[in-house]
């Protein structure tokens, strides 16, 4: 990829992003307006109850007494000004809420993707090396099991085994609460907390990537250039990794972009099970609280994350595959 192409890739993605974001905003708004109940009902109920006047006061304060087209217009107008709005449920600007939770989700997504891609590649190569062999069959069956297991269950099992029985990892949390750790000690503490949620979130994707990788390895292994490499006397290990795996990797990397949205979805569950203060949990709580502004903000953020991941994937693919040029 040539230097100028980076800007081009990003610009093209952004041009696609604007209509996508608008559709996301409209669809979310519509869906939430269709869902029964509103933020005030929940606020009063979770506050232990209250009278009708209180509800009316709150509804007026939140603008929920306005007709919905007015609410929508108001929201879109603020959005144009890059203002995600203010959550009355949290009493804070939506952007603060999201900003505060973003690093947790990004860390979880990045580590889970790295884990899933890493293990997917190793297992996929190892299975695809001898298609139909015992190792292939074993890995494929394990992959199928991983694919079928619900991730909250995997999460709880990991907790039971590695946190409760073996006491190797913490049960949950982003870092040790009130530990006063700083610097490298804090980073290690966060990493230690991230191990189980990363694995729990990644396992499903391990199976996705390993199957893709395996199929790629089997296919590429019979490619002419592999025969060329054999003919010129390249060693088996180097053929496997530098030729076969290197080429089979391309669809796997492309798949990371496709899976970005699923990954975000999976994070919702994992963040709950592991008490992680990420975007997914904020979304879950916001649905239950019918906190429309936060949800809209989150969905827009998610759309931006997915678009950003796909842009990065584009760039990585372009870097890995010289045939791909930025259009």
Partner 1 sequence: MSLLQIDQLSVRFGATMALDSLSLAIAAGETLALVGESGSGKSTAALAIAGLLSHQATVTGTIRFDGQALTDWRGVRQGGIAMVFQDAMSALNPVHRIGAQVVEALRLPRAEQRVAAARFLDQVGLPQPERLVDAYPHELSGGMRQRVGIAIAVAQNPRLLIADEPTTALDVTIQAQILALLRDLKARLGLSLLLVTHDLGVVAETADRVAVLYAGCLMELAPAAALFTSPHHPYTQGLLEARPPFGTQAPMLAELVEIPGQLPRLDPPPAGCRFAARCDRADQRCRAEQPVLRPIADTLVACHHA
Partner 2 sequence: MVDQALSRRTVLAASSVLAAGPAFAQAQPRRGGTLQVAYNTEQRNLNAAMVASNAVFLVASKILEPLADAVYGGVGLTPKLATGWNAASDGLSITFELRRGVKWHDGRDFTSADVQYSALEVWRKLSNFGRSVFRSLETVDTPDAHTAILRFSRPTPAQLIWNALPDLTAVLPRHLYEGTDVAQNPRNQAPVGTGPYKLAENRPGQFVTLERNAEYWDAGKPYLDRLVFRVMPDKGAISAAHEAGQLQLSCFSSVPLADLKRLQSLPALSVSNRGYEASPYHALIELNLRRTELADVRVRRAIHHALDLPRVVADVFDGFGTVGTGPVPTTSQLFYTTDTPRYGFDLARANALLDEAGYRRGAGGMRFQLKLVPAPWFDYTVLLGDYIRQALRQVGIDCQLQRFDAPGHLQAVYRDHQFDIATGSPVFRNDPAISTTVLYRTGTPPGVPWSNQYGYASQAMDQLIDQAAGELDPIKRVALYHQFQRLAMEDLPVIPAVEFSFLTVADRRLRNVANTPRWAMSNWADLWLDA
Q: Report the partner that residue 327 touches, choosing among partner 2, partner 1, none (CB closer than 5 to 8 A by kind).
A: none
Residue 174 CA to its chain's centroid (Å): 16
Contact 174, 85 (CB under 8 A): no
Q: Does 198 bind partner 2 (CB under 8 A)?
A: no
Using alpha carbons only, what angle is made at residue 216 by residues 212 and 219, rounded to the nearest 5 degrees?
140
We find the least distance from the C-beta atom of residue 272 to partner 2, in angstroms, to be 5
> Which CB atom, from 6 or from 156, has the smaller least distance to partner 2?
156
Q: Report the partner that residue 323 touches, choosing among partner 2, partner 1, none (CB closer than 5 to 8 A by kind).
A: partner 1
> Which CB atom, from 165 or from 323, has the smaller least distance to partner 1?
323
DSSP 106-158: HHHHHHHHHHHHHHHHHHHHHHHTSTTSHHHHHHHHHHHHHHHS-HHHHHHHH
d(CA 47, CA 158): 35
Looking at residues 264 to 293 of the shown chain, list those that interact with partner 2 (rule: CB under 8 A): 272-278, 281-282, 284-285, 287-290
Which residues form the interface with partner 1 (CB under 8 A)?
222-225, 227-234, 242-243, 246-247, 250, 320-323
We find the least distance from the C-beta atom of residue 220 to partner 1, in angstroms, to be 10
Q: Report the partner that residue 272 touches, choosing among partner 2, partner 1, none (CB closer than 5 to 8 A by kind).
A: partner 2
d(CA 42, CA 57): 14
Q: Does 167 bind partner 2 (CB under 8 A)?
A: yes
Q: Report the partner that residue 119 touches, choosing among partner 2, partner 1, none (CB closer than 5 to 8 A by kind).
A: none
Looking at residues 107 to 146 of the shown chain, list those that interact with partner 2 (rule: CB under 8 A): none
> Which CB atom, from 70 or from 242, has the smaller least distance to partner 1?
242
Q: Report the partner that residue 287 touches, choosing among partner 1, partner 2, none (CB closer than 5 to 8 A by kind).
A: partner 2
Q: For the purposes of burial, counting CB atoms within 10 Å of the CB of 290, is it exposed (0-12), middle (13-18) or buried (19 or more)?
A: buried
Contact 296, 85 (CB under 8 A): yes
Q: Report the partner that residue 89 touches, choosing among partner 1, partner 2, none (CB closer than 5 to 8 A by kind).
A: partner 2
Q: Report the partner that residue 160 touches, choosing among partner 2, partner 1, none (CB closer than 5 to 8 A by kind).
A: partner 2
> Which CB atom, from 180 or from 224, has the smaller least distance to partner 2?
180
> Which CB atom, from 95 or from 275, has the smaller least distance to partner 2?
275
Looking at residues 53 to 92 of the shown chain, list those that interact with partner 2 (rule: CB under 8 A): 53-55, 61, 89-91
Contact 278, 108 (CB under 8 A): yes
* Residue positions counted in the chain: 327
Q: Which residues contact 76 (CB under 8 A, 6 or more apart)?
A: 25
d(CA 138, CA 144): 10
Contact 99, 105 (CB under 8 A): no
> Which CB atom, from 96 or from 230, has the smaller least distance to partner 1?
230
We find the least distance from the C-beta atom of residue 5 to partner 2, in angstroms, to be 39
d(CA 146, CA 161): 17
Place of tokens 């394990």: 142
Q: Does 45 bind partner 2 (CB under 8 A)?
A: yes
Residue 252 CA to its chain's centroid (Å): 16
Q: Which residues bind partner 2 (CB under 8 A)?
A: 35-39, 41-42, 44-55, 61, 89-91, 97, 100-101, 104, 156, 159-160, 163-164, 167, 170-175, 177-178, 272-278, 281-282, 284-285, 287-290
């Amino acid at each position: 990829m040539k230097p100028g192409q980076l800007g081009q890739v990003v610009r093209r993605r952004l041009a696609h992003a604007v209509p996508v974001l608008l559709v996301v905003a409209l669809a979310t708004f519509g869906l939430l307006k269709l869902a029964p109940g509103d933020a005030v009902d929940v606020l009063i109920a979770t506050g232990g109850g209250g009278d009708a006047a209180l509800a009316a006061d709150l509804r007026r304060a939140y603008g929920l007494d306005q007709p919905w087209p007015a609410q929508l217009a108001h929201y879109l107008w603020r959005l144009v000004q890059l203002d995600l709005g203010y959550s009355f449920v949290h009493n804070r600007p939506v952007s603060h809420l999201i900003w505060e939770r973003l690093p947790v989700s990004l860390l979880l997504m990045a580590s889970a993707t790295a884990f899933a891609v890493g293990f997917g590649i190793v297992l996929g190569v190892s299975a695809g090396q001898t298609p139909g062999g015992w190792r292939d069959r074993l890995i494929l069956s394990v992959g199928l099991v991983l694919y079928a297991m619900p991730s909250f269950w995997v999460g709880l099992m990991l907790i039971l085994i590695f946190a409760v029985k073996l006491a190797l990892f913490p049960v949950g949390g982003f870092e040790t609460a009130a530990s006063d750790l700083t610097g490298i000690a804090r980073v290690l503490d966060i990493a230690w907390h991230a191990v189980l949620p990363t694995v729990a979130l990644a396992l499903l994707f391990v199976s996705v990537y390993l199957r893709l990788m395996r199929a790629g390895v089997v296919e590429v292994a019979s490619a002419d250039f592999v025969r060329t490499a054999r003919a010129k006397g390249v060693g088996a290990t180097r053929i496997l990794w530098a030729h076969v795996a290197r080429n089979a990797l391309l669809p796997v990397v492309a798949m990371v972009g496709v899976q970005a949205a699923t990954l975000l979805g999976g994070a919702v569950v994992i963040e709950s099970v592991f008490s992680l203060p990420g975007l997914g949990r904020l979304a879950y709580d916001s649905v239950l609280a019918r906190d429309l502004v936060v949800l809209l903000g989150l969905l827009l953020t998610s759309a931006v994350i997915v678009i950003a991941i796909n842009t990065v994937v584009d760039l990585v693919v372009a870097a890995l595959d010289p045939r791909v040029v930025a259009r």
